[in-house]
Amino acid sequence: MNFVTSSSTLLHHLQSISGALSTNTKIPILDNFLFEVESNKLTVVASDLETTMITHLEVQSEGDGALAIPAKLLLEVLKNLPDQPCAFRVNMDNYAIEISYDNGKSKMVGFNSQDYPKLPTSEYSSSIDVSGELLSSAISKTLFAIGTDEMRPTMTGVLCEFSPDNITFVATDAHKLVRYRRTDISTTSSSSFIIPKKPLNLLKGNLRGEEQVRIEYNASNATFTFNDLTLVCRLIEGKYPNYEAVIPKENPNVLTVERNQFHNSMRRVAIFSNKTTHQVLLKMAGAELQLSAEDMDFSNEANERLTCNYHGMDMEIAFNARPLVEMLSILETESIQLSMSEPSRPGLLTPFENKNTNEHILMLVMPVMLNR
């Protein structure tokens, strides 16, 4: 089995899928890429059993075949080569690999492709086509809110809900929640699944925005096909929490403020907050918003004032600055609204104006108890 391909093209394809490799696998063969050559087409697979990525590229080949090639070693070789043709010569009797390039050659030993785990073959009951822009935006706006508590596995992924009216993505860790909804796409029937964090990161890193993504799924697996890539992942089993139940419906106290000003002020004031609670106090009255934080252990404190538009009763409410700052950095509008009912209830952060009328983002942040 011999084939020739561009070093930079092969490196690009391998880097696209290398994130699927496990960092501490107990199955040595999974430290390798699976190479399969057939009729001038090279298919490369990377997997950790839970998540598998596959890429395809055209090569000039002599003979078909398959073998596993050490991933780390091959990536290091290609990273240190300028763009040039690379010739791979493989002895299928002992899996010896010789890579020839302009000024030299490298040798390594591969492994029998039969030892590589078989790819999951599932019958998919449902499918949907979405734009790369939609999927990339949904992942970017929900990924940070995923929980890390392994005792609540359903909250360690993003819930994807499909319905005849819209498509909705939800992430929560019980302290913050994000609901991202698009009404410019729908399905004929209602269904949902929970996708883990690792494949979400891999999708985010590989989506360009202009492509179409084919999503096929059943109760246990989902496949995402786009460009020259295929991602197959095992879904998180279980029932997602009833997130709609925790979103307050009546929020008469509404703060409207310029996002950039609020974001920068929160970041500055948070520097002086308690290092355990990261508590920042918001005090709203009329057209003025006061932000304050203090760390009594070190006698540190900060206060800032912003002009705003506030409708409702005068209120003091405290938040952990970290999730609030992150939410403000993810929202892309000029102004935001913070809707509240009372100091002990969650605050709802939404864009004041929506450039995309089909996009609806709601971010919920839990308050913290006031330190008096």
Higher pLDDT, 157 or 189: 157
Find out whether 257 and 335 touch, Cβ atoms under 8 Å: yes
- Kindly state whether residues 43 and 61 are assigned to the same domain: yes
Q: HSE-up of 96 (CA within 13 Å, CB side)?
A: 6
pLDDT band at 237; cut points 50, 70, 90: very high
| Listed residues 194, 217, 242: the one ending a domain | 242
Whether the CB-CB separation of 293 and 273 falls below 8 Å is answered with: yes
- Residue 308 above 90 pLDDT? yes
**Is 286 within a domain?**
yes
156 and 230 share a domain?
yes
Does one domain contain both 15 and 98?
yes
Residues 27 and 97 reside in one and the same domain: yes
Find where tokens 């990377």 sit: 46
Structure tokens at 177: 């929640």
H or E element that contains 178 = strand 176-182
CA distance 131 to 284: 41
| Structural domain boundaries, residue 82 | 2-115
What number of other Cβ atoms are within 10 A of residue 324's Cβ? 24
pLDDT single digits (tens) 321-338: 999 999 999 999 999 999
Any domain includes 372? no
* pLDDT score of 372 more than 80: no
- Show the tokens assigned to 79: 């990273």
- Per-residue pLDDT for 66 more than 60? yes
CATH of the domain at 295: 3.10.150.10
Q: Which residues contact 26 (CB under 8 A, 6 or more apart)?
A: none
Q: Does the pTM of the predicted model rise above 0.75? A: yes
Q: Cα angle at 270 between 278 and 347, to 5 degrees? A: 65
86 and 152: one domain? Answer: no
69, 10: one domain: yes
Supply the mean pLDDT for the chain.
95
Residue 121 has pLDDT above 80, yes or no: no
**Lowest mean pLDDT segment, chosen from 28-37, 185-194, 235-244:** 185-194
pLDDT at 239 over 60: yes
Q: What is the mean pLDDT of residues 215-238?
A: 95
120 in a domain, yes or no? no
In a domain, residue 293? The reply is yes
The whole-angstrom separation of Cα 167 and Cα 180 is 8
pLDDT at 14 over 60: yes
Same domain, 147 and 72: no
For the chain, what percent of residues have pLDDT higher than 70?
A: 99
Tell me, yes or no, whether 217 lies in a domain.
Answer: yes
| 3-state SS assignment for residue 161 | strand
Please tell me the total count of domains within the chain. 3
